[in-house]
Structure 1
Amino acid sequence: MSNIRVRRGVLASSLALALFAPSAFAQTSSTTSGNSQTNQQNQQSTSSSGQSADQQKATKLQTVTVTGSMIPRTEIEGPAPVVTITGEQIKKEGFTTLWEFLDSLPQVGQQSEDPAAWGSTSVNARSVNLRNLGPGFSLLMIDGHRIVDYPQPLSAQSNFQNYNNIPTGMIDHIEILASGASSIYGSDAVAGVVNVILKKNYQGDELQVTGGGATRGGRAYGDINFFGGKSGENWHVLYNVEKSNRSALWGSDRPYQDSVSDAGYGAWGPADRMFGYQYDAAGAIGLSATNAAGQYITPPTGTCSKFGNNFALSNSHTVNTNGTQITSVTDNGSFCSQPALFKDWVLTPGSRSNNAYLSGEYDFSNGLQVYGSMALYDTVGISNTQLPVFASGEFYDQSTGQVINQAERQLTSQEMGTAGNTTDHEQNWNLQTGLRGSFDDSRFNWDLNLNAQKYIVHEDFTGLDQTAMNNFFLGKQQGTTTDSNGNTIPVYNMNWQQFWNPITPQQYSQFAVGGQNTSSSWLDQAQFRMNGDLFTLPWVADQPIGWAAVLEAAHNGFQLSPDPREANSTTFQDPFDEYNTGGGTRQRYSLGNEFRVPLLDTVTWTISGRLDKYHDASRADVARTWGTGIEWRPYSGLLVRGSYGTNFKAPDMQAIYQTGSVVPVGDYIDPLQCINAIKAGQNNSTWCSLVQRPTSQYYLNNTGGSTALLPQTGHSWTYGFVWQIPGVEGLSFSTDYWHMGVDNAIEYLSPAQVLLDNAGCLTGQQANGTSGLSPYTAHASNSAYCTLVNSWVVRNASGQLVSVKSGPLNEASLYVSGIDASLDYKKQTEYGDFTGTINYTDNLSYKQRVLASDPLLNTRYNYVASRISWIADWNKGDWNVSVSGVRDGSMRASNYGNCNVLPNGIQPSMLTVPNGAQSISTGICQVTLNGVATNIPDSVYWGRTPVWITWNTSVAWQINDMTKLKLTVSNIFNRVGAIPYYAGNFEFVTTGQTGSEYNGREIFLTFDYKLD
């Protein structure tokens, strides 16, 4: 039996009759599988009157189960829009992973953590951010069953599910419901559900081999996929093995040498522009030492060149200004910079994967069917680790008789004898078995499913023994002394020979250490489903009330096990400085019901409800959700629909059980001491500015989870229509308005926010820089919030900070809304068959507040507000040609609404005025000239990123019945994102738009051979 495929969009015109007039379409229609239950329902659709199969096919359309409902139905479309895409279409558009494809959909927003970001805790995984609500608010399922969480936390904070390890060769199709569905699926389905349907019905054997890569270099790709199926009289087995390899994209593959000169002031300040693009930023220093005055000590002649092309001699300058004028330039000495700082940085991590999947079914003679499947996803991911850096604090050097403010030494891969990269070894098992059948003459169907999953990550990284490294360059400590400011500093006899010259791998081994972080997560779940037809209302012809119920029990948990040596930072250092510990378990019991009620021949009402009971360390107890939907079909070519539902997300297990870390903080503002200083008339107090404090004034930042967390609650609604346009055969249009929100959302308070609120709660005031005070009205002094943050801050008798706790609490709110639209067309001609789909999403609002007292602001244009995707197909004989693309709308650029940098590099400041508890911008830029504030007219920057468009194509040739070739080109015009004018980050950073990237054009050739 063949499967109907709905192309990207809400409606395929070939299904129009099935959507609106199923009885008329029954003779030619097949079914699409929403989960593994569908085949059973199809097999069990027998007539109680004893009609033959051929007679039934002419009078009754077989039912399907579509994501978003548990009740099989004859129509593909329901009360809420569901997008269905085949695995073949994913490949046609040039995507080699499921995540890459999902990231191109109009319903998907920006990823919350860049995998190339320094300190990323999920370098080998990818999350999906439906509707920009955040990765944790969407649910990933495979064949209708929940998937285990990725073991490592996203941004070191929250749980999420990995969309990057599901091989595309195993996918039959995916169904995406981009609206809340907690009343059907429970927690996490706040923004929607992605249901991946694996291949089920296949007979024979097939081999697919794909190879290619980026024409600009890097991202070499190879994939071998073997799959097949065998059947007997009452059994069927499907098997799939896939092996793929994707090389990493390195910074050296995208040097952006043609763009550096065009980079704006965010990347290159006034000193850089005056003296040629010098790499004098702190992160770009390769080898340097500064004296007590902060000036660089010039390296011995030829030092930098000894390190090959890793280092280059650079001079440091400080530009002195007076208002709009540069008055002088101070020479701060020379050092060895890293002109190729990012050449060993991973822009896109590489991976090697070996995946296997086996499923089977066996039919007993009594109508029972037993089924099961086994899947193993084994992945090795390669990401960057910044090579180890030796950096001293202030010390007295006996060998030169001077105080050294800081000595910094970047090790190179040649010295280490290794690239020093981080490698993630991942294994994910998914085992399930089940039994299903029917009763009451096939009127009711039931399915009992048992599922066990485990996900393990071993992360190998390049660490170092900090004490041994210090001894190597500084020697043993010789005691202490006092500097000119009265601070006690250590005394060393530094080994300058080893500092200024390259070392050997043998020398590096004296302090080199390899580390391994391990994390695991698991999910065991049992599910019993039942559905069937209850009775028919007297006034509704031949449309019985449908009913479905589900009973679930689940046990899941996680464990973070970092290298135990990381607990002692003096002997062992993790280059990511992420010491995440914790672990815990959770039990859940759930009961859900759904009814589909034909109120009239043209009106159908759906209502669902679910109860989830939790046992864990949080305050989550019972979550109750409900949803409802309406469908009105006034005639066979029009569907008017709407839905509403309440949603929830259980407290994040990482937020509950993380035991966190303790990190010394020496660069901070103390708002309480700042307020006290202003009250005492000390308006220039250093406590009001972000400065590096002496060692004696450091405080300890304690981070960790909270057992006081509550579930995050939400709601969603949609309304729209699907229309088969009259007079134009094969043309259909749909549009839906959607709205969803989250209250009581978990927000991670930073130490700075905790200190700010602590000072406000204690004094009722807040500082406006160093100039004055204004009332603090964010929280009442006797509120529960103030009690909490005050308990998080510990001071000694003199008022100096000792420790500050920071972490998660239920405070934030987020509401989003927008419009989806889709246009679909199909035409058969003598020149071939043409199909086309255009999809459009406009995010009308993105209203967010972090704290309950914050205003609810619409920050829509800080994100890509609109996105369009399209695909057109032509088929004739043995040929198929596909053209597709994505258009990302504009968004506000870096520095939007702030002051333009002047041509000479001076940065004016925005004039602000007090407004109650807040300071607001006046839109006037100022500089201080001879002590007098001077306005700079027309100096506010209103820059926006350009629209981003990429095109893809594929050409397939069916050589014979057994052999097929396909050429796929992604990003036809080789577009690579430009450096934003005011982006002050790595030179390979692109515009920040979801689709903007640095991969460039990629070409793939696929050979497909049917073995039998």
Structure 2
Amino acid sequence: MKVSVNLLAQSIRYSLLASVLSVPVSQYAFAEQETETTVEQEAEQQQTDEDIEVFQVTGSRISQTSFEGPNPVTVITGEDMARQGHITLFDALQDLSQNTGLVDTNEVGASGFTPNANVVNLRGFGPQYTLTLINGRRLANYPAAYQSNSSVVNIGTIPTAAIERVEVLTTGASAIYGSDAVSGVINVILKKDVEGTNVALTYGTGEEHGQDNYRLQLTHGIDLDQGNITLIGEYASSDYVKGGDLDDIDSAFDYPYGDPVMARGAVQIDNWAAYDYLLNPTGEPSYIDPGENGCADLPWTSYQYRSQLPEAEALGQTGGSWGHYCGFDSAKYRTLRPETEKFAFMISANHDMGGDVSGFIDLLYTQNTAETDHGHIAVNGGTVELETGANQLKVKDGNGQYLVMPDWHTLGRILPTQEIGDTAYHFDEESLSITLGIEGELGDHSWEVYFTDSRYELDTEQQALRYQETEEMFFGNYVKEQLGIKVYDGTGTHTVYDRLSPEDIRRLVGTTTTNNKTEAQMASAVITGDLFDMPAGAAQYAAVLEYVNEEFEYQPDELMTRPEGEGWWGLAGFGGFGERSRSSAGLETKLPISDYLNFGFAIRYDQYDSASSSNDGQYTPAYNVEFRPNDEWLFRASYSRSFKAPDMQAIFTRSRAFSFGTDYVSCYEQFFAGSVSPSEFVKDSLYYSQCLGSTFNAEQLPNTELENEEGTSIGLGFVYSPMPELTIKFDYYDVEIRNQVQRGDISSILIEDFHCRYGTGESAPIFGCDIVTGTEDRQGLVIRNENNNSDDPLAGGSLETVNTTAFNLASYRQTGIDSSIEYLLDVGSWGDLRFAASHTGILTTEYDALADDDQAPYSFSDNIANREPQDIVTASVSYFYENFAATLSARYMSELAPHRILPKKDENGDVLFFDQYGDTLNYQINDDGEYIIEDGYFEGQDARLVGETKRSQKRLDPFITANLVLAYSFNEGDTNVSLTVQNVFDEQAPKDDTFMATEWPWYDIYSYSGSALGREYFIQLSHQF
């Protein structure tokens, strides 16, 4: 396609600097030696060419001559990644200032839903709202539900060696790409038309943890008479990093904020003491003392004492968890980085078929194995009843309130690797994507037709405990269910303090397996070109037709699907299958209104098959304006609508598991209804914290009535480049998603059930009472047996099932500012300096859990409970001199809320209480633990009862990390060696004393992922043949 040379003149200042700065050090130095051509001379030379190279930029199918257009796009080249010290694509994308959201991390380990998937969460909307593409094409989703409820793309399958560049569009783009492009689009452009052969070897290790990384990359290009074949292979392996590899967190005794606490390797808990149902107000230890020699058969444990939690002791809420037990130091065995081994290869081939037509094929294959481990399997929750104490009544206080409490003991046991062998969670993944297509020119029009088939398979394996054998071995015979708890007679063949024999282990321990797969087929036809001439140039267009078919199949272990008592202890399965197809058509135009003004419009229609959607179809338009008053300024504005089709897992899958939680309704009705009002009960933890938990069915049903989530994106900004060496960008964004699918957690549903039944809710509900408790025509999320007329006062409540099915309920909106600056400084014979910085500042974030109610949305802005960073800044300075280059890059994340929002305290660490006017109540704690007010209107009363606390506004310190890269080329630029130091200043996560001793590794693993690894070194040697 031919374009006006004037277009290049307008854009060359924006694009030339980026291309100059992105080359490797060897190329940069070599070019400096070969020619003295200035940037201005290069621009003049290119302007003399009649045919100017044009290309597509993510966010539009109309080709252009610059990355700067009506929508903000961040470009990261493969060289940028290396220069910034990013070893993987995930590292580079996590470093984006727009990446303000949290994702599951390596530290989550085996307890996460998708512990082997790398995802990105632009703007904090969730990774499912960021569309990820390879060469502009969709991939099969990761074959497991992210956080149990959504589909995502795993960017960890993309080999770093194959990446030419990554284009990140930070606004909605459903008018171009369809569903999922709500908060942004990540488009990974892979290499093609490679010449020669390049081999690169990378070795990495940690300064403290000492565990190694290896990577071998091979890139080879074969030039043919009528085309090219590019072959790329990559092998990478990474050793385990566990808590035991790091001195600061290799033991429970490293807890920095108080008394250390080991995990409960073996424990027997007296429920009377734990729930403080004793006449003695000081209580007794809740752990039954095994004696100093009681842990002798479990040599991986030690005889330990756990103190009562200070807050429990001070508030007198419960007896708490304290006393002697067999402690297990699990910290040293827990995973911080999984062990992985990955092999990937890519083939990209093209062939000139003549007549301005060429064919192409792209193939990407990845095979990945990984494992993550906690170092043990736990047996928790088994309750046994002692004959002498059954059904006894115990007086709670002197006000005539009687509570029923059986004499129960709860047993807990950890089965570590030392006892039962392998406890790791194993992953075996394979993904394959193949694209076949042809493209060509037809006059002033370009066209492309292709078909992509993408598949992903995931097999997992882990050790688990057989349910019936666990019951028989540790708890004995099942007796009854009371208060929603399964009760046994305590005649198990082993106590929790007995070591298992090899025969016991063979009988008790088995292997669970899952086999999941996803696939996606996509056929697309695109044509672009000139529509007609206008006074300022040709009107351009792009039209697209698409057909996509997606499938998934999740096959849980067979025992996971069985009823309780016949499967695995503590494990439940998530299975299902489904298929969905859609047909789409889109049109995009760009109209040059004048030499300075361009107007763009796009519209797309997506129609999903009727079996998988309740939607008739979705239209999504987009509008944009570019105004270039001169060569230095570009002003841009955009408005677009976006949507996300209901997740296939919410439409097709059904899961059922046995869960444990607090049934507030039954607890209140059985124990408190006669003496406490519903409002007092639900507001005061002194009451509801004494409720025993219940077991019930947790069910997730498919919902084919889900509608599309719909959103809007608004952008307004400018690009200023007064000289080729300097570029400044500023963009305001406003992104919103409405009709958002919401799946409530069990605890929230049960507390809302109480509010609905008793009218005690004061804040906006999550679902609404019609959905939670149901109507005459619709079953609610909480299902009860209202005919429960048992004479047994301990039979428990009527709760049978809690349904966590998803509904369209919520809305989420964020506004903010993105800005950046790049500057290249020529320091003469000393070389060149490059400065770059980018900033994302969140102005407002609003969430409305029930968008159709009359309650105002909840605003996160300036709220202490907000755990998203308000500001992220990335900056770098690079120095180039002949064959040497060095870059120091840094990332700043603003202050976050602590793990727990605690009450305000005075200088002595005592909790402050306030009256209704906000004045401080002065109190002293007497010998009975009461907080007696010393003066004023409430003199002599307990401050905890008549006063209220206020939340502390204290935030954590900002988090700043930096990378250093040193590179040198020799052998005429064919050989390169580089040293990368990640976290060069060995920065650790900010101190947060609100973490409890049992919450290893005592920092927010989502916000500060990987910080515990400390300083790491990577050395790379590459050679071009």
Fold shared, TM-score > 0.5 on shorter chain: yes
Q: Measure, in 2, the Cα distance between the counterparts of 1:676 and 1:95.
A: 58
Which residue of structure 1 aligns with residue 889 of structure 2?
Answer: 884
Give the counterpart letter for 2:560 in structure 1. E
Could you tell me whether the CA contact under 8 Å between 2:204 and 2:214 is conserved in 1?
Answer: yes
Q: Measure, in 2, the Cα distance between the counterparts of 1:989 and 1:351.
A: 25
Q: CA RMSD in A?
A: 4.0
Which residue of structure 2 aligns with residue 77 of structure 1?
Answer: 68
Which residue of structure 1 aligns with residue 421 of structure 2?
Answer: 417
Which residue of structure 2 aligns with residue 459 of structure 1?
Answer: 460
Alpha-carbon shift at residue 784 of structure 1 (Å): 12
Alpha-carbon shift at residue 986 of structure 1 (Å): 1.9
Q: Measure, in 1, the Cα distance between the counterparts of 2:355 and 2:766.
A: 71
Which residue of structure 2 aligns with residue 393 of structure 1?
Answer: 382
Give the counterpart letter for 2:628 in structure 1. R
Of stretches 243-252 and 123-132 in structure 1, the one that deviates more from structure 2 is 243-252
Kindly indicate whether residue 729 of structure 2 is the aligned counterpart of residue 746 of structure 1.
no
- Of 511, 515, 522 in structure 2, the residue corresponding to residue 514 of structure 1 is 511
Partner SS, residue 58 of structure 1: coil
Which residue of structure 2 aligns with residue 588 of structure 1?
Answer: 582
Specify whether residues 900 and 466 from structure 1 end up closer, same or farther in structure 2 by C-alpha distance, changes over 3 A only. Answer: farther
Specify whether residues 567 and 589 from structure 1 end up closer, same or farther in structure 2 by C-alpha distance, changes over 3 A only. Answer: same
Kindly indicate whether residue 447 of structure 2 is the aligned counterpart of residue 450 of structure 1.
no
Alpha-carbon shift at residue 447 of structure 1 (Å): 0.4
Could you tell me whether the CA contact under 8 Å between 1:603 and 1:631 is conserved in 2?
Answer: yes
Which residue of structure 2 aligns with residue 981 of structure 1?
Answer: 993
Could you tell me whether the CA contact under 8 Å between 2:435 and 2:452 is conserved in 1?
Answer: yes
- Of 250, 253, 260 in structure 2, the residue corresponding to residue 277 of structure 1 is 260
Partner SS, residue 151 of structure 2: coil
Which residue of structure 1 aligns with residue 1014 of structure 2?
Answer: 1000
Alpha-carbon shift at residue 791 of structure 1 (Å): 6.4
1:800-830, Cα deviation, whole Å (9 max, x unpaired): 2222322211111111011111111113322
Which residue of structure 2 aligns with residue 50 of structure 1?
Answer: none
Specify whether residues 758 and 24 from structure 1 end up closer, same or farther in structure 2 by C-alpha distance, changes over 3 A only. Answer: closer
Could you tell me whether the CA contact under 8 Å between 1:385 and 1:575 is conserved in 2?
Answer: no
Partner SS, residue 532 of structure 2: coil
Q: Measure, in 2, the Cα distance between the counterparts of 1:396 and 1:801.
A: 22
Q: Measure, in 2, the Cα distance between the counterparts of 1:322 and 1:950.
A: 40
Q: Measure, in 2, the Cα distance between the counterparts of 1:286 and 1:951.
A: 40
Q: Measure, in 1, the Cα distance between the counterparts of 2:84 and 2:17.
A: 33
Q: Measure, in 2, the Cα distance between the counterparts of 1:849 and 1:359.
A: 46
Q: Measure, in 1, the Cα distance between the counterparts of 2:125 and 2:289.
A: 52
Alpha-carbon shift at residue 141 of structure 1 (Å): 0.4
Which residue of structure 1 aligns with residue 825 of structure 2?
Answer: 827
- Of 869, 872, 879 in structure 2, the residue corresponding to residue 874 of structure 1 is 879
Could you tell me whether the CA contact under 8 Å between 2:202 and 2:1019 is conserved in 1?
Answer: yes
Of stretches 585-594 and 790-799 in structure 1, the one that deviates more from structure 2 is 790-799
1:800-839 matches, within 5 Å, as 800-828=798-826, 829-839=828-838
Aligned length in residues: 935
Q: Measure, in 2, the Cα distance between the counterparts of 1:417 and 1:656.
A: 39
- Of 639, 643, 655 in structure 2, the residue corresponding to residue 644 of structure 1 is 639
1:278-297 matches, within 5 Å, as 278-279=261-262, 284-291=263-270, 293-294=272-273, 295-297=286-288
Could you tell me whether the CA contact under 8 Å between 1:533 and 1:547 is conserved in 2?
Answer: yes
Could you tell me whether the CA contact under 8 Å between 2:170 and 2:183 is conserved in 1?
Answer: yes
Give the counterpart letter for 2:541 in structure 1. W
Q: Measure, in 2, the Cα distance between the counterparts of 1:80 and 1:486.
A: 56
Partner SS, residue 409 of structure 1: strand
Give the counterpart letter for 2:583 in structure 1. Y
- Of 596, 599, 605 in structure 1, the residue corresponding to residue 593 of structure 2 is 599
- Of 351, 364, 371 in structure 2, the residue corresponding to residue 362 of structure 1 is 351
Specify whether residues 24 and 298 from structure 1 end up closer, same or farther in structure 2 by C-alpha distance, changes over 3 A only. Answer: closer
Give the counterpart letter for 1:193 in structure 2. V
1:196-242, Cα deviation, whole Å (9 max, x unpaired): 01111211111100001221215521000011101121021000110
Kindly indicate whether residue 178 of structure 2 is the aligned counterpart of residue 174 of structure 1.
no
1:429-485, Cα deviation, whole Å (9 max, x unpaired): 001100111213xx11110010001111111111111222333345x63x85999x9
Specify whether residues 937 and 749 from structure 1 end up closer, same or farther in structure 2 by C-alpha distance, changes over 3 A only. Answer: closer
Which residue of structure 1 aligns with residue 791 of structure 2?
Answer: none
Which residue of structure 1 aligns with residue 177 of structure 2?
Answer: 185
Could you tell me whether the CA contact under 8 Å between 1:357 and 1:374 is conserved in 2?
Answer: yes
Alpha-carbon shift at residue 152 of structure 1 (Å): 0.4
Could you tell me whether the CA contact under 8 Å between 1:481 and 1:491 is conserved in 2?
Answer: no
Which residue of structure 1 aligns with residue 842 of structure 2?
Answer: 843
Kindly indicate whether residue 913 of structure 2 is the aligned counterpart of residue 934 of structure 1.
no
Specify whether residues 788 and 901 from structure 1 end up closer, same or farther in structure 2 by C-alpha distance, changes over 3 A only. Answer: farther
Alpha-carbon shift at residue 487 of structure 1 (Å): 10
- Of 538, 555, 561 in structure 1, the residue corresponding to residue 555 of structure 2 is 561
Which residue of structure 2 aligns with residue 952 of structure 1?
Answer: 963
Specify whether residues 715 and 672 from structure 1 end up closer, same or farther in structure 2 by C-alpha distance, changes over 3 A only. Answer: farther
Q: Measure, in 1, the Cα distance between the counterparts of 2:18 and 2:896.
A: 47
Give the counterpart letter for 1:337 in structure 2. G
Partner SS, residue 109 of structure 1: coil
Partner SS, residue 527 of structure 2: strand
Alpha-carbon shift at residue 994 of structure 1 (Å): 3.6
1:482-533, Cα deviation, whole Å (9 max, x unpaired): 99x999954344445x642433445322211011112111000100000011
Partner SS, residue 502 of structure 1: coil
Specify whether residues 849 and 604 from structure 1 end up closer, same or farther in structure 2 by C-alpha distance, changes over 3 A only. Answer: same
Specify whether residues 236 and 286 from structure 1 end up closer, same or farther in structure 2 by C-alpha distance, changes over 3 A only. Answer: same
Could you tell me whether the CA contact under 8 Å between 1:208 and 1:1009 is conserved in 2?
Answer: yes
Which residue of structure 1 aligns with residue 339 of structure 2?
Answer: 350
TM-score (norm. length: structure 2): 0.83
Q: Measure, in 1, the Cα distance between the counterparts of 2:83 and 2:21.
A: 23
1:571-604, Cα deviation, whole Å (9 max, x unpaired): 6665773421122111010000000100001111
Specify whether residues 307 and 680 from structure 1 end up closer, same or farther in structure 2 by C-alpha distance, changes over 3 A only. Answer: closer
Q: Measure, in 1, the Cα distance between the counterparts of 2:178 and 2:699.
A: 33
Give the counterpart letter for 1:437 in structure 2. G
Could you tell me whether the CA contact under 8 Å between 1:670 and 1:687 is conserved in 2?
Answer: no
Specify whether residues 783 and 894 from structure 1 end up closer, same or farther in structure 2 by C-alpha distance, changes over 3 A only. Answer: closer
Alpha-carbon shift at residue 172 of structure 1 (Å): 0.8
Q: Measure, in 2, the Cα distance between the counterparts of 1:176 and 1:609.
A: 21
Q: Measure, in 1, the Cα distance between the counterparts of 2:389 and 2:667.
A: 42
Q: Measure, in 1, the Cα distance between the counterparts of 2:585 and 2:193.
A: 31
Specify whether residues 783 and 994 from structure 1 end up closer, same or farther in structure 2 by C-alpha distance, changes over 3 A only. Answer: closer
- Of 598, 606, 618 in structure 1, the residue corresponding to residue 613 of structure 2 is 618
Which residue of structure 2 aligns with residue 796 of structure 1?
Answer: 786
**Structure 2, unaligned runs of 5 or more:** 24-44, 274-285, 391-405, 789-796, 933-939
Give the counterpart letter for 2:983 in structure 1. N
Partner SS, residue 174 of structure 1: strand
Q: Measure, in 1, the Cα distance between the counterparts of 2:900 and 2:46.
A: 69
Q: Percent identity?
A: 22
Alpha-carbon shift at residue 837 of structure 1 (Å): 1.1
Alpha-carbon shift at residue 645 of structure 1 (Å): 0.4
1:704-748, Cα deviation, whole Å (9 max, x unpaired): 3311110000000111111113xx661221111111100000111
Which residue of structure 1 aligns with residue 431 of structure 2?
Answer: 428
Could you tell me whether the CA contact under 8 Å between 2:744 and 2:766 is conserved in 1?
Answer: no
Specify whether residues 944 and 993 from structure 1 end up closer, same or farther in structure 2 by C-alpha distance, changes over 3 A only. Answer: farther
Alpha-carbon shift at residue 187 of structure 1 (Å): 0.4
Which residue of structure 1 aligns with residue 977 of structure 2?
Answer: 965
Q: Measure, in 2, the Cα distance between the counterparts of 1:824 and 1:737.
A: 19
**Structure 1, unaligned runs of 5 or more:** 1-14, 34-53, 769-773, 914-920
- Of 607, 628, 649 in structure 2, the residue corresponding to residue 633 of structure 1 is 628
Which residue of structure 2 aligns with residue 577 of structure 1?
Answer: 571
Which residue of structure 1 aligns with residue 281 of structure 2?
Answer: none
Q: Measure, in 2, the Cα distance between the counterparts of 1:111 and 1:29.
A: 32
- Of 880, 888, 894 in structure 1, the residue corresponding to residue 899 of structure 2 is 894
Alpha-carbon shift at residue 55 of structure 1 (Å): 11
Alpha-carbon shift at residue 310 of structure 1 (Å): 3.8
Could you tell me whether the CA contact under 8 Å between 2:348 and 2:362 is conserved in 1?
Answer: yes
Could you tell me whether the CA contact under 8 Å between 1:30 and 1:62 is conserved in 2?
Answer: no
Give the counterpart letter for 2:941 in structure 1. V
Kindly indicate whether residue 733 of structure 2 is the aligned counterpart of residue 733 of structure 1.
no
Specify whether residues 390 and 632 from structure 1 end up closer, same or farther in structure 2 by C-alpha distance, changes over 3 A only. Answer: closer
Which residue of structure 1 aligns with residue 192 of structure 2?
Answer: 200
Q: Measure, in 1, the Cα distance between the counterparts of 2:47 and 2:1016.
A: 49
Give the counterpart letter for 1:959 in structure 2. F
Give the counterpart letter for 2:448 in structure 1. D
Which residue of structure 1 aligns with residue 857 of structure 2?
Answer: 856
